[in-house]
């Protein structure tokens, strides 16, 4: 089984900074510290209203991230311009509407196949790996493969919601979809509401899970446990 990498989403740190209009906490230093304590990637999801990560943050992070830089977002014209200039290791495309509070569904890769194929081809000109945020459906995954995407990222909100009610039922669709991903040779990432309670079970039941992106829960844990300890606890879950 492949080892699963931990990418830390630092949006919430930027949200906290923006609430006071100064540079406390320092988003760039936080990213450096995440890497120093063992994180294997940094994820950001800049939105049009810049309510947390700003465009300036993205360009600044380009110069300091030494592990893997992952930029998430809806492929609008200005977003694609920024991504193609920054050239992160990975771009995760999400189907968010403007002003959406948080990502809550994956792409309809069947009806949007032509659009996504064009966008992905543009990103690949700059050697950017592309992942598509998606629900655990074989039909959607098959269509994602046809767009030229390198990976999919499972939207794990439903899994996290149902985990304590019936974890076997919560994971079933994701395990089946992951096996299909392996059959057609498309990589697997995952993210949304994964935390110290549900992460290990998810990873154990998703064959060849390459990467998880975790932000909200990880920042919550930092408030109680401290950043270094929290990073180590998440890495331990993925061992």
- Residue 237 CA to chain centroid, in angstroms? 18
- Interatomic CA distance for residues 117 and 27, integer angstroms: 33
CATH code where residue 202 lies: 3.20.20.70
**Which ranges of 87-215 would DSSP assign to H, the alpha helix?**
113-124, 138-147, 157-162, 167-184, 199-204
Confidence category of residue 102, pLDDT binned at 50, 70, 90: low
> Which residues span the domain enclosing 48?
5-237
Active site members: 45, 72, 192
Query: Taking residues 127-149, what's their average pLDDT?
Result: 98
pLDDT tens-place string over residues 173-210: 999 999 999 999 999 999 999 999 999 999 999 999 99
- Residue 232 CA to chain centroid, in angstroms? 19
- Interatomic CA distance for residues 92 and 229, integer angstroms: 28
Quote the percentage of the chain above a pLDDT of 90. Answer: 92
Beta bridge partners of 155: 191
Cβ contact 191:212 at 8 Å? yes
Overall domain count for the chain: 1
pLDDT tens-place string over residues 154-178: 999 999 999 999 999 999 999 999 9
Residue 100 has pLDDT above 60, yes or no: no
| pLDDT for res 2 | 56
* 190: phi then psi, degrees, rounded to nearest 5: -155, 150
- Interatomic CA distance for residues 208 and 51, integer angstroms: 34
Q: Does 25 sit behind a cis peptide bond, omega within 30 degrees of 0 on the bond before it?
A: yes
Residue 81's SS3 state is: helix
Confidence category of residue 3, pLDDT binned at 50, 70, 90: confident
């Amino acid at each position: 089984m492949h080892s699963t990498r931990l990418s830390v989403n630092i949006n919430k740190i930027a949200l906290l900074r923006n609430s006071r209009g100064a540079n406390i906490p320092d988003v760039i230093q936080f990213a450096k510290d995440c890497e120093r304590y063992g994180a294997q990637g940094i994820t950001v999801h800049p939105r049009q209203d810049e309510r947390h990560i700003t465009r300036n943050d993205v360009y600044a992070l380009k110069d300091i991230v030494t592990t893997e830089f992952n930029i998430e977002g809806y492929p609008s014209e200005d977003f694609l311009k920024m991504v193609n200039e920054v050239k992160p290791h990975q771009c995760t495309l999400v189907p968010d509407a403007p002003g959406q509070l948080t990502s809550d569904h994956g792409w309809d890769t069947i009806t949007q196949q032509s659009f996504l194929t064009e966008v992905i081809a543009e990103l690949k000109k700059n050697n950017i790996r592309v992942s598509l945020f998606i629900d655990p459906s074989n039909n959607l995954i098959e269509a994602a493969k046809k767009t030229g995407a390198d990976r999919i990222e499972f939207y794990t909100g439903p899994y996290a919601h149902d985990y304590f009610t019936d974890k076997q039922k919560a994971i079933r669709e994701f395990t089946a979809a992951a096996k299909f991903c392996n059959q057609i040779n498309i990589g697997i990432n995952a993210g949304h509401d994964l935390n110290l309670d549900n992460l290990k079970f998810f990873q154990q039941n998703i064959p060849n899970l390459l990467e998880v992106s975790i932000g909200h829960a990880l920042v919550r844990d930092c408030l109680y446990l401290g950043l270094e300890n929290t990073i180590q606890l998440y890495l331990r879950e993925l061992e």
